[in-house]
Structure 1
Amino acid sequence: MRIDKSIRKKLDNNNHSVFSLNYHLVLIIKYRRKVIDDEISEFLKEVFIRIAPDYKAELKKWNHDSDHVHVLFKAQPDTVLSKFINAYKSASSRVVKRAYPELRKHLWEEYFWSRSYCLISAGGASLEVIKEYIEKQGMD
């Protein structure tokens, strides 16, 4: 398969493939408790940065609101996203409650994160552009 050099520069690669896998992840605090401030967000971000390489992932952008975080990250084709996200949620929940014991009074039970999350693939092109590109293949 031949890929234009200008496109290849924007892609990641391993031994057998080139790829660009970017994801937008939203994690919500259990019961939407408003417990995230700048300091706690930075702490949660550092946990993400520590865990990500174990799952062949890399943080690209991080931001927060008082009851959720937004994460843009890159991954590889063999990254098992659900395992990575669950490992992050478990580890970060444990260490943030240890580092900030005052959080426990705002949370019910032992949970920090909601069980659910939002994960959206974040590509560089819209679906319409990709559809058009595919439709035009083989027309030379």
Structure 2
Amino acid sequence: MSPRWEPNRDVRTGRHVVHDLHAHLVFVTKYRRGAFTDPMLVRCEQIMREVCADFEVELREFNGEDDHVHLLVHYPPKVALSKLVNSLKGVSARMLRKEFGGHVRKYLQDDHFWSGSYFAGSVGGAPLTVLKQYIEQQKRPL
């Protein structure tokens, strides 16, 4: 008897789509000032998990240092990463300023918590060289 096939939990299905999309996101504090403490990072993760849930996105991993955070998200194709990022940064900045205001003001005087830029990289799946070779080897009709 052959071993039972186990479905890949990363592959999700929608009405007209099967997908497995992951992104690595990095957000940096304004001027790279080291404003984060451990309790702030714990709260930031909670806030970002809630925002992700609102977008039907799974926050797979979260961690950070005093001046930046890393997120690994698993998201459906209907989610525009730029909209997710804007919401993650906007909600977290508002909530962290509200809850840790005195501490934040020591490091970030103006109204901005996060730098205006961010990093987003696609992750997972086959390496690009393998994917390129697979596509090149498709049998085109004559």
TM-score (norm 1): 0.89
Q: Does 1:103 align with 2:104?
A: yes
Q: Does 1:113 align with 2:102?
A: no
Q: Percent identity?
A: 35
Which whole-Å CA distance do the structure 2 matches of 1:49 and 1:63 have between them? Answer: 12
Question: 1:50-73 CA distances to partner (integer Å, 9 max, x unpaired)?
Answer: 111222211001110110001000
Q: What residue in structure 1 maps to residue 65 of structure 2?
A: 65
Once the 2 structures are TM-superposed, how far is the Cα of residue 6 of structure 1 from its aligned partner?
Answer: 6.6
Residue identity in the other structure for 1:109: D
SS at match of 1:60: strand
Q: Stretches of 4+ moved more than 6 A in 1?
A: none
CA contact (8 A) 1:55 1:80 kept: no
Distance 1:116 1:75, change over 3 A: same
Once the 2 structures are TM-superposed, how far is the Cα of residue 86 of structure 1 from its aligned partner?
Answer: 0.5
SS at match of 2:72: strand
SS at match of 1:45: helix
Residue identity in the other structure for 1:41: L
Q: Does 1:32 align with 2:60?
A: no
SS at match of 1:66: coil
Which whole-Å CA distance do the structure 2 matches of 1:90 and 1:72 have between them? Answer: 18
Q: Does 1:136 align with 2:130?
A: no
SS at match of 2:131: helix
* Superposition RMSD in Å: 1.8
Gaps of at least 5 residues in structure 1 are none
Structure (1 or 2) with the larger CA radius of gyration: 2
**What is the number of equivalent residue pairs in this alignment?**
135
Which whole-Å CA distance do the structure 2 matches of 1:17 and 1:83 have between them? Answer: 21
Q: What residue in structure 1 maps to residue 44 of structure 2?
A: 44
TM-score (norm 2): 0.88
Residue identity in the other structure for 2:28: I
Once the 2 structures are TM-superposed, how far is the Cα of residue 108 of structure 1 from its aligned partner?
Answer: 2.6
Which whole-Å CA distance do the structure 2 matches of 1:63 and 1:12 have between them? Answer: 25
Q: What residue in structure 2 maps to residue 54 of structure 1?
A: 54
SS at match of 1:53: helix
Which whole-Å CA distance do the structure 1 matches of 2:7 and 2:128 have between them? Answer: 17
